[in-house]
Amino acid sequence: MHPRLFLATAAALALGACADIVSSAEVAPSHAHTGGIAAARSQSVLAPFDIVHAKISTDGNVAVFHMAVSGRAGETTPTPAGQFAGSEVFSYVWPTTIDPYEAGFERGAGILALAVTSHPDFDDTPLFDETRDGDRANDGGLWHMHWVVLGPDPACGEGALKVIDIPEGQRPRLPATWPGAPILLDSPGWQPLLDRDTVEVRVPFANIALVEQAGFDGVTAGLRVNASAHAPLLCVANVFDVASGDLSLPGRTNQ
């Protein structure tokens, strides 16, 4: 299924948080919501996750992923659970139409998304010591960037998405900076900048045309870690806000 159609279908089933108006220049909710459930859900969105707009632009060979929210970006992080299973991940996400192959995964593996995440109960950037305290395994609570590949799984809920699992005993094509988790996730170390009401990540590309031709959307969400690595491991459990309202990836780079 085409990425846009797939995401729109998933959104209609489980992620339809709001019906927003999208401009041609950026993915920007108008908050003109329709329907009682949608309206109630939008009103409960915490300001740090209430999307004002999401953009992708280019600066030479660098893609700039940008999101503005109505509160202070990154101010709210998950409450530590004290264990890996059952813990939460909060995220700012840009789903794209870029093929996962371009980030080091198999072709057509799912929906490639850039995610800025915080999860205090575990660390998934083993190559980097973000706190510079000599321990590379205690930095998960700091906001950091990943590439993730998303796909559907009924175990996460009807129409809901997960970070795609790697089946036991298989070793698909993976990026050199894959952190060893049994899911399609990469930790390349490009650090996000959270400043007042914005989240921004600058990511270099060998072929920037891939980004210039891409469609995208903006999402804020909470994910849940399951007890089993293949239960699945990481489900999108709560969508806070969707810039387009339907995950149709209407955004266009540099517009």
Mean pLDDT confidence for 57-83: 96
Domain that holds residue 62: 3-252
Measure the CA–CA gap between 98 and 37, rounded to whole angstroms. 32
- Predicted local confidence at residue 122, as pLDDT: 84
Measure the CA–CA gap between 230 and 125, rounded to whole angstroms. 21
- Predicted local confidence at residue 229, as pLDDT: 72
Q: How confident is the model at residue 134 (pLDDT cuts 50, 70, 90)?
A: confident
Tokens linked to 213: 């031709």
The residue among 89, 205, 77, 96 whose CA lies nearest residue 150 is 96
- Predicted local confidence at residue 142, as pLDDT: 86
Residues contacting residue 191 through CB under 8 Å, at least 6 positions apart = 130, 144, 145, 201
* CA distances for 139 relative to 132, 164, 176, 185, angstroms: 9, 23, 20, 17
Tokens linked to 191: 């650090």
Measure the CA–CA gap between 158 and 155, rounded to whole angstroms. 8
Measure the CA–CA gap between 202 and 183, rounded to whole angstroms. 24
In single-letter form, the type of residue at position 98 comes to I
- pLDDT of 22 over the 50 cut: no
Measure the CA–CA gap between 135 and 14, rounded to whole angstroms. 39
Measure the CA–CA gap between 90 and 97, rounded to whole angstroms. 22
Q: How confident is the model at residue 138 (pLDDT cuts 50, 70, 90)?
A: low
Residues contacting residue 93 through CB under 8 Å, at least 6 positions apart = 113, 114, 115, 116, 148, 218, 219, 220, 221
Answer whether 195's CB lies under 8 Å from 207's CB: no
Answer whether 150's CB lies under 8 Å from 110's CB: yes
Structure confidence by residue, pLDDT tens digits, 199-225 = 999 999 999 999 999 999 999 999 999
In single-letter form, the type of residue at position 61 comes to N
Answer whether 20's CB lies under 8 Å from 38's CB: no
Answer whether 97's CB lies under 8 Å from 68's CB: no
Residues contacting residue 24 through CB under 8 Å, at least 6 positions apart = 252, 255
DSSP 42-71: HHT--GGG-EEEEEEEEETTEEEEEEEESS
- Predicted local confidence at residue 49, as pLDDT: 97
pLDDT, the chain, mean: 83
The count of domains in the chain is 1
- pLDDT of 158 over the 70 cut: yes
Q: What is the pTM of this model?
A: 0.84
Answer whether 21's CB lies under 8 Å from 5's CB: no
